Structure 1
């Protein structure tokens, strides 16, 4: 397998594979003596996926090396090593939680943190969602796509000559996740399946729109949790108890400079290169690795997924005000895009608004325009 083929099969980027080769964690099966190109064996996929998941839970490289060595000889010992690592993580988290509670007490702001942070009994809930996409005042065509269904929420922002086809192909490939395991399935299985769907979407974009690409921010609802996949500069937010929390990080050159301390957020918002993407779905060899996360939901929560045509022109404070105004998902989606339009509508803008409701409040009027979320052209 070429490094690109192996990257897609293992869900590791080519850059990560080269790094793990240098560290001796995942050496290739063969290296071409003349070109230096790396080739992998299909039997290495399992180890590569193990490395990926160990890194996702924050295990240090030394620990990853030990677990990988034990996995083939003593799986029980490998499992105990993972359990011990996670016990340390939980202990450290508990310690920080106590320090945070103490700090809130000192500041006079501890209003039930212990109750808020206690793990609750997980029960299935219903999701009511609406999606809307609009062209804006400047663009001639709408290359955005948005979808709101009973389980799948997604926004895509296409670019290039066939950006509309790229965004459409990405959402079409993701439609399979509507049939992912029902509530109660293992989190790892769900995230793996969602990641596989994103890789299929990447390939679908390459086939449908060569030379073009798209961003993608998508969530799959399990009844109690939202599994989130993110590539590009779309965004996902959670409104809970009046507070708006951003769940995604922009994959842009400007955001990388913010992370490196070279720019502050205010400078980044007005930077001329703020739309320069570092990750997108474009069908290129090796694929684009999505950020994956899992978020617990509870009645009263409201999710927002949007393209940068909304988030780049409307400040978070105004997004929060609109989301917290009390209107239903459809009216809220229209209000959000009206805010972008009021600032000149410089780009296509799309959003999905989804409310978590008690299970007995379920409704079936998903999305707008028959659930496609396409909205007005």
Structure 2
């Protein structure tokens, strides 16, 4: 047992661990690293030397960019579990980095007015589709989707109107990629004089040759299956996702959070969409899901990675949502490229 005289002040402990006192206070608040003792009068924190190993592990994981919410999950396991979790995290980092590298290369070439290496993207790929579009436990269907050789998109409406998602997709299809989100937002605003609480998300993939050009606002998702791995290409625009990014909420906590479906970005005048361009390859699979799918099926990987025709895959995803109780409208579009 550590005696009081062996305890370290927060300053001494921070220097020994390679952290800052401010970071230690945050980790205390998050439950990552609690001090052994807190003076009830002064509030001074004291730590045991035996806690240095855990503190240094946290510092190292932060050094490689691991979010605090994920660090909490890592620390709760055995050493073998921690090793596996860190390895899995780094695989995801490398996959995400590869995607960003492609996007940055395209952007740099564009800014320099140079022609990028279009070895893959100049090839026109053949797309085969599978879709599922179900009302689920709702009285009304407010999801909409498009699946054509040029455009694959989903939208998820909310509020008093049932036609906003379809309106948004139609406007996007005629408006083109540049400026289309603003045009859609204007149409929605004009159509809502009596229902200001209504709106819609929009997530679209324009297929141009061998390139997928993504425009994303809201909490639908675009997934890429490549070489036996599943990668999410979009980021949810929700309050809960922002809390996870800030390290204030864990993924497990998010699943049951009372505001898990609360958007912090939807189509509206002046909205800024996330945009990205991704080179596609023969053998790739794209999938788009509304939140009625991925909010209730915890692990889509086995379903989206499965061999089979796109329609079979879409049907299996829908079946999993139904098995989970299908409380919401749910839409999935699966695209196989060859």
TM-score by length of 1: 0.56
Residue equivalent to 1:308: 291
Residue equivalent to 2:72: none
Distance (Å, rounded) in 2 between the aligned partners of 1:195 and 1:279:
19
Question: Matches of residues 195-234 of structure 1 in structure 2 within 5 Å?
Answer: 195-209=178-192, 210-211=195-196, 212-234=198-220
Residue equivalent to 1:173: 171
Deviations for 1:168-227, whole angstroms, at most 9, x for unmatched residues? 1101102226xxxxxxxxxxxxxxx51411211111222234421001111000020100
Kindly report the root-mean-square deviation, in angstroms, between the aligned alpha carbons of the 2 structures. Answer: 2.4
Distance (Å, rounded) in 2 between the aligned partners of 1:235 and 1:332:
16
Report SS of the residue matched to 2:177.
helix
Distance (Å, rounded) in 1 between the aligned partners of 2:302 and 2:126:
24
Residue equivalent to 1:240: 226
Specify which structure has the bigger relative contact order, considering alpha-carbon pairs within 8 angstroms and separated by 6 or more residues: 1
Report SS of the residue matched to 1:194.
coil
| Deviation (angstroms), 1:120 | 7.5
Distance (Å, rounded) in 1 between the aligned partners of 2:148 and 2:310:
12
Q: Contact 2:131 / 2:315 at 8 angstroms: preserved in 1? A: no
Q: Contact 1:154 / 1:305 at 8 angstroms: preserved in 2? A: yes
Residue equivalent to 1:145: 144
How many residue pairs match? The answer is 224
Report SS of the residue matched to 1:125.
coil
Residue equivalent to 1:127: 127
Question: Matches of residues 16-95 of structure 1 in structure 2 within 5 Å?
Answer: none
Change in Cα spacing, 1:329 to 1:208, as seen in structure 2 (3 Å) is farther
| Deviation (angstroms), 1:257 | 0.8
**1:254 aligned to 2:235?**
no
Residue equivalent to 1:54: none
Larger-Rg structure: 2
Deviations for 1:49-106, whole angstroms, at most 9, x for unmatched residues? xxxxxxxxxxxxxxxxxxxxxxxxxxxxxxxxxxxxxxxxxxxxxxxxxxxxxx99xx
Distance (Å, rounded) in 2 between the aligned partners of 1:130 and 1:200:
29
Distance (Å, rounded) in 1 between the aligned partners of 2:184 and 2:288:
18
Q: Where in structure 1 are there 5+ consecutive unaligned residues? A: 1-102, 178-192, 358-377
Residue equivalent to 2:107: none
Q: Contact 1:217 / 1:229 at 8 angstroms: preserved in 2? A: yes
Deviations for 1:127-172, whole angstroms, at most 9, x for unmatched residues? 2223321011x2111111111011100111100000x211111011
Report SS of the residue matched to 1:156.
strand
Residue equivalent to 1:370: none
